[in-house]
Amino acid sequence: MASTPSDPSGGDGPASGVAARQEPGGAPPEALTSERLDAVPGVLGRIARERAAAYASYPTGGPRPSGRPASGSFAEALRGTGVAVIAEVKRASPSQGAINDVDPVTTARAYVAGGAAAVSVLTEPNHFGGALSHLAAVSEAVRAPTLRKDFVVHPAQVLEARTHGASAVLLIVAVLGEALGDYLGYARALGLDALVEVHDERELDLAVGAQATLIGVNNRDLRTLSIDSSTAPRLIARGRASGHEALWVAESGYDSADAVAALRGLAHAVLIGTGLVRHDDPATAVRALVAAGA
């Protein structure tokens, strides 16, 4: 494996002490081309191109950790009769600016104490204040499975998710386009679940066509940062009506018990970030949302 460049996620580089081995099959996909990235519009495209530049010198492959993530399956943690809560650790966002300079481990522990089924950890440094070191520390500190939340444009980011303790990685269809299937296959080969994120009907069709089994619908249009709270209910209902077997996650704009309660019988889980990191007592906040979704 080539030497590891400086960590572009603001963390401490690859985690040490992880048993690794090369496995047949599941070859890493190619990094996204500049032509593909130039086709991604707005804020989303700008951040995706920044991430591509940060990973430009990274090798596409490398030794793979053996076994499964220690915290277990992200997808299985979301199964149940109610709406599971995925609680997110982030310090900033492009739409909100600086939110709260939280300690990732303290915050994640509070989320889990409040009943969060899983924890999402931002690793993008420039717009969200994230770092790979946050992911590694949270994954080590809590029993709940973790999601690497970033803008994946290079296979090294998927491998990093696994070596830094995540059970799942976010794959954004608006960024990956037709490369989704290759990245989804690579994540699975590494023992990761993939939360495949969509925002419109075309992206949903791509996710279904790639046989994604964990699909998140984002109410926020990442190109413009605007939110339409009807997006997730509409697309989840469409996906379920198609007969496609998947776990469905509603994302963005769910910061109240009433909003979560409205998802019962529709979404399997809800991902919540800003409202929780701003709360003085995140454990209590999560507990109320979990109760609303039960």
Active centre residues (catalytic): 88, 90, 149, 197, 218, 251-252
User: Nearest to residue 151, comparing CAs of 182, 122, 178?
Assistant: 122
Q: How many CA atoms lie within 13 A of 156 on its CB side?
A: 24
Continuous H helices in 114-230: 125-128, 132-141, 155-163, 173-176, 180-189, 201-209
The amino acid that residue 162 corresponds to is R
Rg (the chain; Cα; Å): 17
* Pair 15, 164: CB distance under 8 Å: yes
Beta strands per DSSP E along the chain: 20-21, 64-65, 84-89, 92-93, 97-98, 118-122, 146-149, 168-172, 193-198, 214-218, 247-251, 269-272
Q: From CA 76, how far away is CA 74, in angstroms rounded? A: 6
The strand pairing partners of 195, in sequence order, are 170
Token pair listed for 63 = 């030794």
Q: From CA 70, how far away is CA 64, in angstroms rounded? A: 15
